[in-house]
Amino acid sequence: MISDAHLQGLDDPNQHLLVELLDRLNCPRVFLLGDLFHFWWGFPDVVYGDFVPVLAALHRLRRRGTEIAYVPGNHDFELGPFFERLDVQVASRLDLEVGGRRFVLLHGDEADTSVAYRLTRQTLRGGAFSRLMRRLGPARAQKLGHRLAGGSRDHGAAEPSERLIQAQIQLAERELRSADVVVMGHSHAPGVHHLEGGTYVNLGDFVRHHTWLAVTETGLELRQG
């Protein structure tokens, strides 16, 4: 399970590191929990050249027989039809069973209930913004999206918000009433938390920490690199 790579382009060294990771994975399923790209807006019949290496790596992964599921984040919530053609499952959340344990997979921004974030989220996912992006077309839409998203390298270097970390723990506690494991990203705060109802894992990020979660026969391993 991987999240928050915030890939920016061909010169982003994290894209090459992520491609290397995807190419060496040998597992039945891979889960991407959002913000793989610093900004992505899916247009029909458009493949962004800046992201060809990682998209090709995902294609190779599918050809090896690995199933891929993608939970969009707050930077790539409009994936569009391209990922359908890659045969990638896209869902706002995933509830599944792995090794006899019930998992809930989220991006994690759902935990942020602040007025400012809720208003921003509602605006960007609304019809007016969608119509604006379609009018702009792929190149100008991506440029606007990057401006709105800010600098991913600054985002990756900043210390995670303690308020958000605690809000995610509270969300995990609620989800653990009907699950054994909750996995999120978004806050860039990697860690495995053993809570009263089960286990909450934050994936961290692939900007600074380069962390990802392996689900093995022996348990959950938050790995790096």
pLDDT tens for each residue of 168-216: 999 999 999 999 999 999 999 999 999 999 999 999 999 999 999 999 8
Output the pTM of the full model. Answer: 0.93
Ranges of H-type helices in 36-114: 52-63, 82-85
CB-based contact 133:41 (threshold 8 Å): yes
Residue 218 is predicted with a pLDDT of 83
Structure tokens at 178: 């009907």
- Three-state DSSP at 105 gives strand
Q: Which residues lie across from 78 on neighbouring strands?
A: 41
- Domains, the chain, in order of start with CATH, read 13-224 (3.60.21.10)
Which residue type sits at 151? Answer: G
Report the relative pairing of strands 101-105 and 94-98 from DSSP bridges.
antiparallel
Q: Would you call 11 exposed, middle or buried from its count of C-beta atoms within 10 A (0-12, 13-18, 19+)?
A: exposed
Torsion 151-156-160-164 (CA) sign = positive
pLDDT in tens, 31-63: 999 999 999 999 999 999 999 999 999 999 999
Structure tokens at 129: 């913004």
* Distance separating the N- and C-terminal Cα atoms of the chain: 13
